[in-house]
């Protein structure tokens, strides 16, 4: 290589020094810019949206919004990510707003230059030069009102660069998706899609995607609920661009242009309002709360509840809960008739309120008695006036049925047999078993569980009660109701699989209102096991039960605890319960009876002994029936609670083989004896037995040559005050009805008085029972002593 001429060397050195000085200045300038940018970044940090001030949306299991809570500025926003939005919307948005979004550093100089030239040439805005990032910058740091100058634009550019430096493209796009203005108090594409179109943004059509893409440019002018034609024009303009740029096919665009711009009136969702409020209170900083609710079922049931209560007394409210037995997830949750209804106290969530359960705990008592081996499904119980210390329960309709099987006692919700059964199971143990399964009983301060808890002398919540009832369809396993899919599974054993199956089968036999009790038509609906309850004073009406797939609970009453006279479970809550059942998704399995577990057997048993039928001794079987038994056990009729005139059960006897007379230990004449026995009914059953049944259980007479054996010792009652088969009439011209004063002679303790099968009063010893008989016809008065002695008279009252 030849050397530079001597005259050119100084020139080269000068150029080199200038280049070094220029590069040095450039380096210092870049460093200064970096330092300045760093200082500005620290002095003016990005005003990113505060997550703690976000609006909250509570959604159903499929993402449908149930209720939205605005932030402190009254803005409604449904958080969404890029992956949760329809690709059609993203295509329309980026084509319309920023085709080079994924490539530029936050600012598109070519777009800015083009927009500037167009403005200088036309003296008005022809096309915008803002990128999507710049629009996000304007959203998070809006300019002052009416400030559209160069300063505002420069600030927007700097903020855009700052966004690109701190956030990824996906994060910037997500900010736009959730904070872009769509008119009114609506921000974000998901909130706009639900507000205007009634659907999620991931379900948008081509036309709907284009409509929502153009809205944020001038949301007040393009609001489709107010200016549908203007919005359609803007939409169609974007559709044409999508076709021209080959983003969408011509055919797709032609079909999209045919769609009308039809939107809903802006109204925020208000479904499952009390559940949404409950969950927001539990997780106040979570912007999107997912529930287990089925949105369609929830809306259907809310509509049914509103229509149903239009005909009920004012201030009446209700609660309703539907739970999937498989997962314990709530599918519908109605906390009150109308949220915000002041007279009905619609702000009170009655799903979680403590209320008297009435008789709704009885199925679990019978199940526990089955597990304890106290009863089988047809065990002989006595529905008759009884005292349990100072507690004297009666039935809802004040009538008594006498001897009754356990299944029938549960189906009819008879109170005295239930209290008798609880007395044997033990109230404290029963309450402890319920608490272990998730049903905590609320008792008065300092009180211990007592016999009244089985009739509603305690408090439960509908949520806990429904969770316990799922055990009847889950082999005895109760589950805590789950209202969020991420809630833990809490399952506890309440009953054995066999006991749960027997109780469910008993309640399955309850006929639907208006249907025959002895038939089941699979085409008429699912098999439903149900139980009603009514609290003291008509304050609470319940209907709880379900199908193989769902458990349903309904409560009706007044939140303030005032009575609803004449409104009780069977006529108030039960019709709504079956409306809910009829609204549930149909499942073929629900119409098929689940086979019994291996621990359950079907056995022929006999009353009054309650044991298996013995063909060798048919004389011991007064009534024969089929019963479900557990673990191959056939418990006999339970012993009478206290000493009676005689002991119920099998009474072994020695009788003369020829005459059949009873023999005692000492007889003066020789006899050919044979062993036999008499099946004795409980003493309190006697008034309800037929003459033949009483005769069949009578003790044979004692042979005249035998010494007394004490079995003939009886105590008898006699009613004084009216003769049997008498006819009585009120005094001539008297406006008052017939009034009789009767006494039970031969009674030393408490005497219960029934008139035509209904308990009407009680007396002590020989005190008078005074009662009016306003209705003409035959009247039957029965007196029953605590010992089991009883007597009865019948007389006719004339008109």
Which residues are marked as active site? 97, 359
Length of the chain: 799
Token pair belonging to 526: 């699912």
Dist CA 738 CA 305 (whole Å): 47
C-alpha–C-alpha distance, residues 711 and 694, integer Å:
16
Distance CA 231, CA 225 (A): 9
CA angle 199, 201, 205 (to 5 degrees): 80
Helix ranges (DSSP H) in 215-270:
219-222, 228-244, 250-258
Q: Which residues contact 526 (CB under 8 A, 6 or more apart)?
A: 547, 548, 549, 581, 584, 586, 587, 590, 591
Task: Provide CB contacts within 8 A for 595, sequence distance 6+.
Answer: none
What is the H or E stretch that residue 782 is in? Answer: strand 777-785
Q: Which of 560, 568, 496, 575 is nearest to 534 (CA)?
A: 568
Exposed, middle or buried by CB within 10 Å (0-12, 13-18, 19+), for 293?
buried
Going through 276-424 in order, the beta strands assigned E by DSSP cover 288-290, 317-324, 329-334, 380-383, 402-405
Q: Cis peptide leading into 569, omega within 30 of 0?
A: no
Select from 351, 412, 357, 349 the least CA-distant residue to 540: 357
Phi, psi dihedral angles at 746 (to 5 degrees)? 100, 0
CB 194 within 8 A of CB 200: yes
d(CA 212, CA 263): 12
- Would you say the C-alpha torsion 242, 245, 250, 252 has a positive or negative sign? negative
DSSP 612: B
- Phi and psi angles of residue 517, each rounded to the nearest 5 degrees, phi first: -75, -20
Distance of alpha carbon 524 from alpha carbon 591, whole angstroms: 9
Helical packing angle, 206-214 and 250-258, nearest 10°: 80
Residue 632, Cβ density class (10 Å: 0-12 exposed, 13-18 middle, ≥19 buried): exposed
Q: Which tokens is 573 given?
A: 């809550």
């Amino acid at each position: 290589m030849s050397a530079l001429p001597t005259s050119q060397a100084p020139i080269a050195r000068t150029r080199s020094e200038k280049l070094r000085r220029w590069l040095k200045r450039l380096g210092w300038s870049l460093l200064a810019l970096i330092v300045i940018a760093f200082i500005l970044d620290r002095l003016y940090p990005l005003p990113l949206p505060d997550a703690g001030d976000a609006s909250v949306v509570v959604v159903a299991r499929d993402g449908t919004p149930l209720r939205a809570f605005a932030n402190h500025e009254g803005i409604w926003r449904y958080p969404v990510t890029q992956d949760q939005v329809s690709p059609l919307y993203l295509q329309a948005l980026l084509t319309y707003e920023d085709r080079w979004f994924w490539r530029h550093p936050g600012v598109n100089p070519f777009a800015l230059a083009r927009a500037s030239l167009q403005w200088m040439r036309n003296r008005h805005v022809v096309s915008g030069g803002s990128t999507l990032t710049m629009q996000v910058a304007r959203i998070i740091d809006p300019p002052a009102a009416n400030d559209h100058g160069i300063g505002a634009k420069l600030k927007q550019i700097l903020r855009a660069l700052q966004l690109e430096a701190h956030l990824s493209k996906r994060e910037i796009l997500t900010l736009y998706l959730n904070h872009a203005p769509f008119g009114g108090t609506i921000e974000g594409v998901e909130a706009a899609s639900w507000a205007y179109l009634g659907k999620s943004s991931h379900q948008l059509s081509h036309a709907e995607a284009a409509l929502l893409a153009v809205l944020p440019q001038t949301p007040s002018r393009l609001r489709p609920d107010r200016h549908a034609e203007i919005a359609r024009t803007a939409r169609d303009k974007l559709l044409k661009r999508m076709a021209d740029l080959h983003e969408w096919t011509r055919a797709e665009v032609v079909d999209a242009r045919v769609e009308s711009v039809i939107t809903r009136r802006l109204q925020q969702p208000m479904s499952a309002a009390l559940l949404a409020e409950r969950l927001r209170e539990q997780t106040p900083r979570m912007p999107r709360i997912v529930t287990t609710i089925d949105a369609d079922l929830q809306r259907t049931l809310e509509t049914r509840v509103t229509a149903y209560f239009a005909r009920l007394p004012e201030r009446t409210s209700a609660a309703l809960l539907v739970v999937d037995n498989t997962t314990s997830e709530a599918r519908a949750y109605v906390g009150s008739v109308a949220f915000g209804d002041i007279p009905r106290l619609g702000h009170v969530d009655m799903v979680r309120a403590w209320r008297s359960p009435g008789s709704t705990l009885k199925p679990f008592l019978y199940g526990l008695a089955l597990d304890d081996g106290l009863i089988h499904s047809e065990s002989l119980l006595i529905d008759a006036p009884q005292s349990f210390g100072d507690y004297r329960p009666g039935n809802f309709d004040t009538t008594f049925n006498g001897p009754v099987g356990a299944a029938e006692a549960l189906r009819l919700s008879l109170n005295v047999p239930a209290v008798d059964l609880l007395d044997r199971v033990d109230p404290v143990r029963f309450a402890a078993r319920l608490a272990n399964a998730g049903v905590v009983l609320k008792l008065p301060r300092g009180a211990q569980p007592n016999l009244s808890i089985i009739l509603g002398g305690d408090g439960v919540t509908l949520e806990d009660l429904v969770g316990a009832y799922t055990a009847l369809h889950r082999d005895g396993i109760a589950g805590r109701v789950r209202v969020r899919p991420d809630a833990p599974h809490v399952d506890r054993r309440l009953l054995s699989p066999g006991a749960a199956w027997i109780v469910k089968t008993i309640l399955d036999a309850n006929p639907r209102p208006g249907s025959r009790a002895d038939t089941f038509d699979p085409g008429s609906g699912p098999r439903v096991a149900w139980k009603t309850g009514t609290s003291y004073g008509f304050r609470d009406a319940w209907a709880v039960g379900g199908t193989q797939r769902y458990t349903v609970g309904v409560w009706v009453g007044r939140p303030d605890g005032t009575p609803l006279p004449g409104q009780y479970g069977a006529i108030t809550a039960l019709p709504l319960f079956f409306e809910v059942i009829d609204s549930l998704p149909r499942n073929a399995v629900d119409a098929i009876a689940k086979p019994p577990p291996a621990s359950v057997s079907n056995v022929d048993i006999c009353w009054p002994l309650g044991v298996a039928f013995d063909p060798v001794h048919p004389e011991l079987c007064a009534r024969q029936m089929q019963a479900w038994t557990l673990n191959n056990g056939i418990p006999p009729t339970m012993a009478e609670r206290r000493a009676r005139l005689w002991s119920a059960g099998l009474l072994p006897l020695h009788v003369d083989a020829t005459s059949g007379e009873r023999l005692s230990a000492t007889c003066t004449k020789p006899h050919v004896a044979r062993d036999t026995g008499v099946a004795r009914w409980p003493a309190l059953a006697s008034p309800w037995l037929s003459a033949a049944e009483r005769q069949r259980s009578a003790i044979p007479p004692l042979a005249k040559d035998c010494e007394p054996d004490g079995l003939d010792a009886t105590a008898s009652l006699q009613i004084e005050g009216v003769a049997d088969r008498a006819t009585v009439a009120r005094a001539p011209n008297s406006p008052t009805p017939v009034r009789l004063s009767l006494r039970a002679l031969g009674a030393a303790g408490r005497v219960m008085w029934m008139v035509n099968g209904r308990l009407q009063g009680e007396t002590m010893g020989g005190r008078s029972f005074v009662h009016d008989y306003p209705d003409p016809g035959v009247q039957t008065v029965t007196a029953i002593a605590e010992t089991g002695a009883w007597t009865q008279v019948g007389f006719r009252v004339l008109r």
